[in-house]
Chain A
Amino acid sequence: MITATGVTGGPFEANGNLANDFDLLFEDLWMGKETYEKAHRLLIEEAIKTALQKGKIEKEQIQFLFAGDLINQITPTSFAARTMQIPYFGLFGACSTSMEGLALASFVVNYDGAKYVLTGASSHNAAVEKQFRYPTEYGGQKPPTAQWTVTGAGVALVQPNEPGQMHPVTISATIGKVVDMGLSDPFNMGGAMAPAAADTIMAHFRDLQLDPSYYDLIVTGDLGRVGHDTAFELINKSGLQLERKQFQDCGLLMYKDDQPVQSGGSGAGCSATALYGHLLNQLKKGIFKRILVVATGALLSPLSFQQNESIPCIAHAVAIEMNGDKE
């Protein structure tokens, strides 16, 4: 079960829809550091510290940290792990890292591999844009299918289930295959990732022999407007009956309509902050009982798309419900 979370964000998220669900919001992208990469690291460190504080636990007790980000060789996360001195597994699943980490953490805890595990994912808008796109001040025009990388980190503390305690519990997970539908436009990641999301969602219902109505909410990581609509059509064409209002996207939840984010939010921090902040709060309030979170990742590099490779994508799904809600 997830006993505590820490969620940090940047200035753009502070103006967004979910600002109240963040534990700590920074006023500017530099966060008092000399480089964006250091600011990125700070986001993770603060998220981990917040999760430890809320979980009332010392960092020495944490047995593993499963985390990752989008920067080359995931240095922000590794450097944060150096600061925190917690045994660390570095993960890379692009924007699906959040659910990859949660699935792994839950798996390890479930089979008595550890008692206290931290997992999380993060991204920093300026640091990621620098690596994957053009300089931030460059006056290029982004097409309406482009997305805005979330500045934020979301970290969760996973512990073995204890009866009687009201905490969100991970009940199952479906790990996705890499799906490549041949799209190669890095300004349309949603369209590239949609088939991966649909594939994982359909596999989840097939494996567990469930119907979509089993979940109050099925939320994708960062498909954005284009990918979300496409995934919805793909799933419904497969014969599963999915309602429009139970199918949402973290990238669309994150920002207000008047923020200039084109098709919505994206980045490893997108699903991590939306889930560990907003969605878990809604579970705790009882608005949702059972949700399926499907984080999607585009496994490209700045090099691979320049060499005209298409964008392979992956999606991992984790089902979460409130403890003690079993009928």
Chain B
Amino acid sequence: MATSKQKNMTPQQRKYQQLQQKHEIKRPVLKNCIKAFFVGGIICVVGQAISYFYIYYFDFTEQSVGNPTVATMVFLSMLLTGFGVYDRLGQFAGAGSAVPVTGFGNAVISAAIEHRTEGFVLGVGGNMFKLAGSVILFGVFSAFVVALVKTLLVIWGVL
């Protein structure tokens, strides 16, 4: 918890929080990390297999195979989300299934399913990027900043 928050607390609140912390069941961080490592790794192995598949059987190179692979992975995760499997995987794997691009697909499609009952325009359309929207916004923004820095460095002759 942020220290600024703790400053605003009464002594009574602080005392209670110390007591409460004792009973709070801790997240099994190490176990979660190991599970996330393996599940995330397996997802990446599947992704790698798909890109080799595209390179060998279709006309893709190592540079151009990225897009169809990502599309396939996102499609798979959307199918799994629709069948109600991905949220269980997520509870088990945590960041392992959330960080790869499949987690992005899951965030989009789960919100779309959730708000289907509110109609296509305001429900699905308005809420689909409720979770993923900030990923897109800050992803694009940070890419812009990095590109800007690189461009400036090139112009100044550092790179």
Contact = CB atoms under 8 A, between A and B. Distances in A.
B135 to A, nearest CB: 13
Nearest to B84: A137
Contacts of A191: 20, 23-24
B103 interface: yes
A134 interface: yes
A137 B87 contact: yes
B25 A138 contact: no
Contact of A263 (B16, B25, B93, B95): B25
Interface SS of chain B: helix
A194 B20 contact: yes
Interface string B118-151: 0000000000000100000000000000000000
Given A137-B81, A182-B9, A182-B17, A226 B25 contact: yes
Contacts of A139: 81, 86-87, 89-91, 97-98, 103, 106, 110
A226 B20 CA distance: 8
Given A135-B113, A260-B91, A140 B98 contact: yes
A34 B123 CA distance: 14
Interface in A297-320: 308
Contacts of A140: 87, 90, 98
Interface stretch (A96-104, A114-122, A141-149): A141-149
B111 interface: yes
Contacts of A182: 5, 9-10, 13-14, 16-17
A229 interface: yes
B94 interface: yes
Q: Quick one: which of B17, B87, B131 has the most chain A CB within 10 A?
A: B87
B32 A136 contact: no
Contacts of B81: 137, 139
Contacts, number: 106
A130 B27 CA distance: 24
A49 B13 CA distance: 45
Interface SS of chain A: loop
Q: Quick one: which of A134, A139, A183 has the most chain B CB within 10 A?
A: A139
B15 to A, nearest CB: 9
A226 B107 contact: no
A184 B91 CA distance: 22
A35 interface: yes
Contacts of A138: 87, 90, 106-107, 110-111, 114, 131
A227 B28 CA distance: 19
Q: Quick one: which of A130, A181, A230, A233 has the most chain B CB within 10 A?
A: A181
A144 B27 CA distance: 6
Given A35-B117, A137-B114, A139-B86, A183 B17 contact: yes
24 contacts: A130-B114, A134-B131, A135-B110, A136-B110, A136-B113, A136-B114, A137-B86, A137-B87, A137-B109, A138-B111, A139-B90, A141-B90, A141-B93, A142-B91, A143-B25, A145-B24, A145-B25, A181-B13, A181-B17, A182-B13, A191-B20, A226-B20, A230-B19, A234-B16
Given A135-B114, A138-B87, A141-B98, 8 more contacts: A35-B117, A137-B86, A137-B106, A138-B131, A144-B27, A194-B20, A226-B23, A229-B23
